[in-house]
Amino acid sequence: MRVLVVDDTKDMTDAITLYCDTEKDLDCHVINDGQEALERIRKEKFDLILLDLSIPEFSVWDVLKSLKQDGLIESCNIVIFTASSDQPMLKDIRDIGVKELFKKPFSVDDLTALIKKFRKND
């Protein structure tokens, strides 16, 4: 299972990478920049894309809108992880085509359940 993690916080990407390294069949890729993430998503297939809501500069909104315009968002399993509780904004994110919202902070059990949900062989 190929997982792309997009977050500008090294502690977060390190934690998710460490988790993925302990699980069999998880191929984890980390990007810290929204523009770079968009280019990788356009070129490569990922089974799960974890996007942090608060990426600076080229934001998660920029990524999502570009994927929508490219006609790619429906084929991507995009999960936004966020500490935000702004319901109207979270509704807008879901409406654009995000598969799920994943609340920060999260536990290892929460991450395990999320990965399991998107595994093709489960």
Looking at residue 10, which CATH number applies to its domain? Answer: 3.40.50.2300
Pick from 26-30, 94-98, 103-107 the range whose average pLDDT is largest. 26-30
- 42 burial via Cβ count (<10 Å: 0-12, 13-18, 19+): exposed
pLDDT in tens, 76-100: 999 999 888 788 888 888 899 999 9
Q: How far apart are CA 36 and CA 93, in angstroms?
A: 20
Angle at 59 between CA 58 and CA 65, to 5 degrees: 100
When divided into structural domains, the chain yields a total of: 1
pTM comes to 0.92
Give me the domain span that covers residue 62.
2-118
Are 56 and 7 in contact, with CB atoms under 8 Å apart? no
Q: How far apart are CA 120 and CA 43, in angstroms?
A: 20
Calculate the average pLDDT of the chain.
91
65: which 2 tokens?
């809108």
